[in-house]
Copies of this chain bind each other. A is one copy, B any other.
Amino acid sequence: MSKLLQDAGFRVTKPRIRLLQALSKAGKPLSIKEILVKMRTKADQVTLYRSLDALARAGIVDRVDQNSGIAQYEFAPEKPHHHHIICTDCGYMDDVSCEVQQFIQTPPKQFSRVTSHNFELFGQCINCR
């Protein structure tokens, strides 16, 4: 974790180490509230917001938005780019590979390039059907 921060030009601080550890251990996207709970030591929410914002810019965490109005963050280094499918009943979440590139060979007219994308699936898991 320290090297990750140093290489990105960040200072190595306890809140950030614990933040990354919590995210890494979770292995799935977490909200700020969830991260706070998972971090052993209490940290200020504001610090989390600022750290996550910086880490997201640096590509160390991925920001995931599930149209819930609550941002979630996922530890990026351990997994290749991917998306998620979420059970609308129980919230169970699975990873889904990204096949978006396959059908965006050329940018839509009026656009010179596609820089990023959202893609999330929603459904019912086998336990909730």
Contact = CB atoms under 8 A, between A and B. Distances in A.
Nearest to A117: B121
- Contact-residue bracket for chain A: 35 or more
Interface stretch (A12-20, A21-29, A30-38, A107-115): A107-115
A66 B128 CA distance: 28
A115 B87 CA distance: 9
Interface in A100-125: 100, 102-104, 107-125
Interface stretch (A2-10, A40-48, A88-96): A88-96
A80 interface: no
A118 B67 contact: yes
A99 interface: yes
Contacts of A103: 99, 102-103
Please list the 4 inter-chain residue pairs (A to B) with the smallest Cβ-Cβ separation, ordered nearest first.
Answer: A114-B123, A65-B67, A112-B129, A118-B120
